[in-house]
Structure 1
Amino acid sequence: MPAARESLLDAAYLALRRRSWSAVRMVDVAAVAGVSRQTLYNEFGSKDGLARALVRREADGYLAGAERVLAGPADPRERLLALAEWTASAARANPLVRAMLTGCWSERLPSPTLSAVPSTSAVPAQRRADGPLPSPSDFVALVRDRAVAAIAGPGAVKGDVGELTRSCELAVRLSLSCVTAPPAEGGVAELMRFTWPRQAR
């Protein structure tokens, strides 16, 4: 039931944009998605299950966007600058992405535990959502490793990418700092052009 699941997640996200998570009602989410409340419970198990699935989907969406910008045709430095811009814009546009990247969950948002929860769901996507969710430090490692793989290419030897790994981690950490304290003018990439480590130029 992937289509119904996506519709329900879309409806939950829309509801979250309009009101705090504590005020979001399962019956309203089901109605907006055009399915029964029982279908909602069959898919997610509970409101907490829905919250975990929503957070997992937004995390996956952020990481997929990071991979898209890293696959661009630009030189390595421009790819990392595009990654920084993507991170800042995704966090501005999506309060769940911002909370996941910073670890700052406001009272308006669901605040699922990052550790895995017991899952009895027969739905594979829900079993995955019930697994561990990424922490801010997990995102640093996940995005850094994607950046290294995209820039170094498939034939790179691990020992040869140490400096690249450090540069990619610095780029990710700088972009995350711009999520919590946006630059006054010029954008994230413009700021990073002046703070870039010499070896990455």
Structure 2
Amino acid sequence: MPAARESLLEAAGAALTARPWSAVRMVEVAAAAGVSRQTLYNEFGGKAGLGSALVRRETERYLDGVDRALAAPAPPAERLAAVAEWTVRTARAHPLVRALLTGYWGADLPLPAARAAGPGRLAGEVRDRAAAALTPGEGAQRCELAVRLALSYVIVPGQEPGPGELLRLLSAPNPTAGGR
């Protein structure tokens, strides 16, 4: 039942925006999705399974945005800046993505599956995708910089970078790389 599964994930995501995960009730999620509670349990096995699926879905949505930014017909620095900007915007808007990137799982969020845990896993996936999308001569070495720069804006919130600010930082020559 792919439609029921997606409806349940949408309903769970909406419930999570309204209240902490501990206050989300399976009966309410099922009712909001228009399915029986038994269907929810058949699809996910329980609240933990639903939470893990929700985390997985948010991860996939985030990585889809990364892939779109990397596939854009633009110079490498612009694509990396787009990845960094997408990371900042998405992490600020989606607590599950922020938790995956930073490793901070407050009590108000569902826990990920054990293999998804760890703040470096998602950042490493973004770095690897960027390195694969760029040829070595295009500046694939800047992938790690783009991810880390974006994470600094996520971890220490402040004014969101202005248009082109991340591009300027990523395009600037690296004064410390001369001897490497």
1:99 and 1:25, CA in 2 relative to 1: closer, same or farther beyond 3 A? Answer: same
Separation in structure 2 between the aligned mates of residue 179 and residue 72 of structure 1, nearest angstrom: 23
Structure 1 unaligned regions, length at least 5 = 116-131, 153-160
Distance between the aligned counterparts of 1:4 and 1:86, measured in 2? 29
Is the alpha carbon distance of 1:192 and 1:74 closer, same or farther for their aligned partners in structure 2, counting shifts above 3 Å? closer
Deviation beyond 2 Å, 4+ runs, structure 1: 161-166, 182-189, 194-197
- TM-score when normalising by structure 2: 0.88
Which has the higher mean CA deviation after the structures are superposed, 102-111 or 41-50? 102-111
Amino acid at match of 1:93: A
Separation of aligned partners in 2, 1:172 and 1:185: 15
SS of 1:170's equivalent in the other structure is helix
Task: Name the amino acid aligned to 1:62.
Answer: Y
Match of 2:178? none
Q: Distance in 1 between matches of 2:171 and 2:157?
A: 17
* 2:61 corresponds to 1:78: no
Root-mean-square deviation over aligned CA pairs: 2.0
Match of 1:143 in 2: 126
List gaps (5 residues or longer) in structure 2: 175-180
Q: For residues 96 and 140 of structure 1, what CA distance do their matches in structure 2 show?
A: 14
Shift in CA distance, 192/181, structure 1 to aligned 2, threshold 3 Å: farther
Identity of aligned residues (%): 60
Counterpart CA distance in 1 for 2:41 and 2:161 is: 46
Separation in structure 2 between the aligned mates of residue 105 and residue 45 of structure 1, nearest angstrom: 22
Alignment check: 8 A CA contact 1:8 1:30 kept: yes
Report the counterpart of residue 184 of structure 1 in structure 2: 159
Change in Cα spacing, 1:102 to 1:51, as seen in structure 2 (3 Å) is: same
Give the alignment's TM-score, normalised by structure 1.
0.79
CA apart distance, 1:188 = 7.6
1:198 equivalent in alignment to 2:173: yes
Query: May I ask how many residue pairs the two structures share in their alignment?
Result: 174
Q: C-alpha offsets along residues 106-147 of structure 1, whole Å, 9 cap, x if unaligned?
A: 2211123x42xxxxxxxxxxxxxxxx2253211122111111
Distance of 1:2 and 1:140 partners within structure 2: 29
- Distance, in Å, in 1 between the alignment partners of 2:67 and 2:17 is 26
